[in-house]
Structure 1
């Protein structure tokens, strides 16, 4: 079982509105686990929660904006990963015709 924190504790610690947290869950930006009717956020998702909270409260970005920014940042990371993979391949090749993409 992964390390986790209850949603009630998250709301208290991060001082966020439960409606905002429920919107993040409904939009599938966060994926809580439920056990004995208690919802938990896994620790691995806390950096995402912190980022979304900062965007919303500090930068006043609404939920649709958060969804778009999150999607674009994920796409950028995917492109970086693909770029690194292709750079490794091109660095190992002496002839581009040998490439197996």
Structure 2
């Protein structure tokens, strides 16, 4: 299924964020902003991540580097929680 895109300009107007913030996320490697029809665009797949990044930046005033760190830590916590759940399931076999 082909990926759908929305322009950065349209996204920024709709979500009331600055295009500079979106482009900084791209520079930091948190999202990818390809050019589609000559316009920088965002894949719809990135919307959930972008919403989290916007909340971290505008609501909690966390800078781009901090967003990268928080995101990595949250991913690690999620991985560890999955591992714990898997181990708990395996241990139930011995109960």
TM-score after normalising by structure 2 = 0.83
Please give the alpha-carbon distance, in whole angstroms, between the structure 2 residues aligned to 1:35 and 1:4. 8
Distance 2:34 2:86 in 1: 33
The residue aligned with 2:3 is 2
Instruction: Give the C-alpha shift of residue 46 in structure 1.
Output: 0.8
Shift of 1:54: 1.6
In structure 2, what is the equivalent of residue 83 of structure 1?
Answer: 84
Q: Per-residue deviation at 1:70?
A: 0.8
Partner residue, 1:30: 31
For the residues of structure 1 that align with 2:83 and 2:34, how far apart are their CA atoms? 31
User: Who wins on radius of gyration, i.e. which is larger?
Assistant: 1
Q: Could you tell me how far 1:33 is from its partner in structure 2? A: 3.7
How far off its partner does 1:13 sit?
0.8
Q: How many residues align?
A: 94
Matches within 5 A, 1:1-101: 1-92=2-93, 94=94
Cα pair 2:23 2:33 within 8 Å, conserved: no
Displaced runs of 4+ in structure 1, greater than 3 A?
A: none
TM-score by length of 1: 0.79
